[in-house]
C-alpha cells in the first residue's frame, strides 16, 4: 500500500486493518510509517471503536492516515482529530428492533440452518438462555473452550459483537436473534454495520446476491461511519496543513 501510494503521489492515504496488526511479527505498521515518513508524509494512526461512533457493535479497527507534506506538528492522535458521529452508546434494539415484525424478503431473509443448530437455538429459547452450555455444543467444545459467544443469543439492550462473514450461522459467533429462532439476516447485519437502508446490495440487473456473497460484502466491510470518521480526520490534517501554509505566506 505505501509503495503504490508514494509512487502515484497520492495526497491522502487511509489504511484500515484489524487492531492486532499493531503487534504483528512482520512489523508491517512500523515499516509502513517509516516508508510514508521518509517520503514526506505526516502520519497519524490509532484504533477506533465502533461504539464511540454510534454503532451498536463492539468492533475495533486500526486506521493509519498519511497526508502528503503535512508536518508532524498537525498530526495529533487519531482520537483527537476525529469528530465523533454520536458518542451515545446504541443497543441492538435501536438498530434492528423495527425489523422484528417485517416479513422475510429481499436481503431480509434468514439462512437455512442444520438440524443441530436449530436444536441449539431451541434450547436457548426454551430455557431463556443467552449462552449455550457445553453439553449442548459440538464434541470439540465439551472439554473446554474459549468460544463463549459462539452459539450465543444476542441481547436487545446491548450492542452486538463484531459482525463477521459468519453472521448467518450461530456456529460462527453470537448471531442468534434476540426474539426469533434464527440467525441474523443480511439486512440486520448491514444495519449493525452502519449501512443505511438506502444502500442497495444488488447486482447491476437488480437481482440479489446469494447469502454467501452478502455475508462477505457486509462482514468484510469497513462500517461506513468508521470510514467517514477516518476521512474527517484526514481532511482536518489536510486543512490544518493548508492553514499553516497561508499563515506562513502572510
Res 62 pLDDT > 90: yes
Q: Same domain, yes or no, for 32 and 15?
A: yes
Q: Same domain, yes or no, for 16 and 81?
A: yes
Q: What is the pLDDT of residue 172?
A: 94
Instruction: List, for residues 110-167, the tens digit of each pLDDT value.
Output: 999 999 999 999 999 999 999 999 888 887 887 777 778 899 999 999 999 999 999 9
Q: What is the pLDDT of residue 87?
A: 62
Res 26 pLDDT > 80: yes
Q: Same domain, yes or no, for 19 and 120?
A: no
Q: Same domain, yes or no, for 63 and 160?
A: no
Res 246 pLDDT > 50: no
Res 210 pLDDT > 90: yes
Which of residues 67 and 239 earns the better pLDDT score? 67
Q: Same domain, yes or no, for 200 and 101?
A: yes
Domain of 111 in residue numbering reads as 92-219
Q: What is the pLDDT of residue 108?
A: 96
Domain count, the chain: 2
Q: Same domain, yes or no, for 53 and 122?
A: no
Mean pLDDT, to the nearest integer, of 70-89?
67
The angle subtended at Cα 63 by Cα 61 and Cα 69, nearest 5°, is: 175
Q: Same domain, yes or no, for 130 and 214?
A: yes
The pTM of this model reads: 0.87
Please report, for the domain that includes residue 75, its CATH number: 3.40.50.150
Q: Same domain, yes or no, for 212 and 97?
A: yes
Instruction: Assess contact for 64 and 45: CB atoms under 8 A.
Output: yes
Q: Same domain, yes or no, for 186 and 214?
A: yes
Percent of the chain scoring above 70 in pLDDT: 90
Q: Same domain, yes or no, for 149 and 214?
A: yes
**Averaged pLDDT score across all residues of the chain:** 89
Q: Same domain, yes or no, for 67 and 144?
A: no
Q: Could you report how far apart the first and last alpha carbons of the chain are, in Å?
A: 36
Mean pLDDT, to the nearest integer, of 22-49?
92
Percent of the chain scoring above 90 in pLDDT: 69
Q: What would the grid cell of residue 10 be?
A: 497520492
Which of residues 32 and 231 earns the better pLDDT score? 32
pLDDT-derived band at 52 (thresholds 50, 70, 90) equals confident
Res 183 pLDDT > 90: yes
Q: Same domain, yes or no, for 238 and 214?
A: no
Res 211 pLDDT > 70: yes
Amino acid at each position: 500500500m505505501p509503495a503504490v501510494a508514494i509512487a502515484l503521489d497520492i495526497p491522502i492515504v487511509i489504511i484500515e486493518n484489524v487492531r492486532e496488526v499493531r503487534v504483528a511479527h512482520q512489523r508491517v505498521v512500523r515499516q509502513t510509517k517509516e516508508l510514508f515518513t521518509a517520503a514526506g508524509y505526516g502520519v497519524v494512526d490509532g484504533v477506533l471503536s465502533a461504539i464511540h461512533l454510534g454503532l451498536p457493535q463492539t468492533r475495533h479497527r486500526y486506521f493509519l492516515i498519511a497526508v502528503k507534506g503535512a508536518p508532524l506538528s498537525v498530526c495529533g492522535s487519531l482520537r483527537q482529530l476525529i469528530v465523533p458521529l454520536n458518542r451515545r452508546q446504541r443497543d441492538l434494539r435501536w438498530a434492528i428492533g423495527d425489523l422484528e415484525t417485517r416479513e422475510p424478503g429481499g436481503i431480509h431473509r434468514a439462512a437455512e440452518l442444520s438440524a443441530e443448530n436449530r436444536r441449539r437455538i431451541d434450547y436457548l429459547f426454551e430455557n431463556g438462555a443467552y449462552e449455550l452450555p457445553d453439553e449442548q455444543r459440538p464434541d470439540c467444545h465439551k472439554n473446554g473452550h474459549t468460544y463463549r459467544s459462539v452459539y450465543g443469543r444476542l441481547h436487545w439492550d446491548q450492542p452486538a459483537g463484531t459482525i463477521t462473514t459468519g453472521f448467518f450461522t450461530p456456529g460462527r459467533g453470537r448471531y442468534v436473534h434476540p426474539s426469533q429462532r434464527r440467525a441474523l439476516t443480511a439486512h440486520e447485519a448491514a444495519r449493525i454495520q452502519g449501512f443505511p437502508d438506502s444502500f442497495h446490495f444488488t447486482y447491476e440487473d437488480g437481482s440479489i446476491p446469494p447469502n454467501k456473497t452478502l455475508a462477505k460484502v457486509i462482514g468484510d466491510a469497513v462500517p461506513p461511519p468508521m470510514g467517514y470518521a477516518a476521512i474527517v480526520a484526514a481532511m482536518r490534517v489536510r486543512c490544518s496543513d493548508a492553514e499553516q501554509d497561508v499563515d506562513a505566506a502572510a
